[in-house]
Chains A and B, each alone.
Chain A
């Protein structure tokens, strides 16, 4: 992918394919030919509907799902497949994850202190107890919790606070990349805002890079620098956020964006969602690939279709 060559690529997916055995000889390709770069310091969003493969990609980056083809590079080094023990440890520390449901992702029988320290224990990342506790205190403080919260249990916290604990336990490992899989979907509107603000603040303070996996496009528009749209296991469009919202080119993206409700009755009562049926518009073939139709704006299409999409854009 060309363009923005001045920026440093942190994570790179190259023709990634992930398939699952579904009994017998059948394989289900959950992700096909996915390629994208995430630059250091950006928030890169992966959006799509349930079953589109967005979480599968996130899990592949966490090295939970093995690839059936392609490779994943982190800081220029291949991290998919077998790694040396040293590399393995480094990657685990450098790429951390925040989960959707903070109630389900914390051990309910462990104190917050243990939940947050778990990564430190696993890697012996502390010289003595004093240092470990200092690290836990600092991580809690960074997410807006207090040191006295250490001795409490997850059930004693509200949903927003629990999500903060989830963030603290990722942060304590001093990661470079954080994979956030629907981190706010389970939260109420007002709490959601707190967590988004916190994620933005930490991104600026700690120079974090996020892969933000989500289905809520209004939230993605607010937090993401760039967006990749994934549909049925295939990335169909990648662009900078406002560019994507202003000029969606792939028909699936057009349909997806047209379905997002706007909190404005006058506008909302005039809006007509566009239905995209992949059966009639299955857009794939031998000459299909990600093409840069506008600067930094890639669409999965054939050369003719690319021209057609651009023509439609002019006519708007």
Chain B
């Protein structure tokens, strides 16, 4: 992205280890990421790729057996990896960097009213009176689309539907006007029509309140919808990043190819879907070379020996694969993901329920 854009958060070479019984597991293996002011960055990857663990280092929410063993996370001139106690995190976690989790039922306290859970955050971080906090909370509830907010202020989470609960979680997360909103699979537990509403809500709030959004998701449809830039994670590393168009239309890493190829939308009925053979690497062992090599049918010899560096594809697009080395043989991306846009356009052009956004 253009260099003049302001960087709000900069993670450098993060490594995270977990102690599991007497073993150490390296969940994140040297990940760097710059978040630009006001952008939406999506991290996509399968379960176990490390996407949640990586972003938890931004809020100090790693499980107690996990440690950041290397790297730094710079935010307003402060290295967040140096913060240890909850007191250190005060004023950052929940205030400047907020998180929305997947399941709204587990992020809300079931035995306290919705209203008290929103005002708690406002009172704590803004130090204002109860009455003022309530006013702000009701406004926030209205802003996230809760009808009759004032009446519903004293209700409990179980009286809300799943979509409404997630709206409350968003209200709580945004009640202190954070600079960064981390959305960790925010719509995975929701129905598709509700998902569309929640995504639209986050988008409109972002426009209005001008925060930076970091999405974590495994759903490439959601990524295509929300993201300005995308990072693909595999085996505890970001292996490719670029603008959303670059990742979908000009992917360079064989894992990104594989992920896109497995999309059911790209296959004709009756044909086999593409799938990735084998299993993700065990993070207990040291990974040699390119982590995806054992599952990559076109892996080069060097992929098993030496870890590839990031090669630059465009000013905004980088990929960690030896295929981009000038000495590498030329390997085309799989046929199934060539002309991806034309293929999907053909599906939507059949008519039916495709409507163009007017805004």
Contact = CB atoms under 8 A, between A and B. Distances in A.
B244 to A, nearest CB: 4
Contacts, number: 161
Contacts of B219: 261
Quick one: which of A245, A263, A269 has the most chain B CB within 10 A? A263
B221 A272 contact: no
Nearest to A256: B193
Interface residues of B, number: 54
Quick one: which of B263, B345, B356 has the most chain A CB within 10 A? B263
Interface stretch (A61-69, A247-255, A285-293): A247-255
Nearest to A255: B193
Given A215-B192, A245-B352, A266 B273 contact: no
B110 interface: no
Given A262-B348, A271-B355, A49 B193 contact: yes
A194 B275 contact: yes
Given A215-B191, A248-B352, A272-B358, A261 B262 contact: no
A194 B274 CA distance: 8
Contacts of B225: 261, 265, 268-269, 271
Task: Classify chain A: how many residues form its interface, as a range.
Answer: 35 or more
A219 B266 CA distance: 11
Contact of A270 (B244, B245, B353, B357): B357
A55 B258 CA distance: 32
A188 to B, nearest CB: 4
Contacts of A266: 245, 341, 345
Contacts of B193: 49, 255-256, 259, 273, 275-276
A188 B47 contact: yes
Interface in A215-255: 215-219, 221-223, 241-242, 244-248, 253-255
10 contacts: A189-B218, A193-B262, A196-B264, A222-B264, A263-B223, A263-B260, A265-B227, A268-B221, A269-B224, A271-B225
Interface of A: 49-50, 158, 188-194, 196-197, 200, 215-219, 221-223, 241-242, 244-248, 253-276, 316
Given A268-B225, A271-B225, 17 more contacts: A190-B262, A192-B262, A193-B275, A193-B276, A196-B264, A223-B264, A244-B352, A245-B350, A258-B353, A261-B219, A261-B224, A263-B224, A263-B344, A267-B341, A267-B344, A270-B356, A272-B355
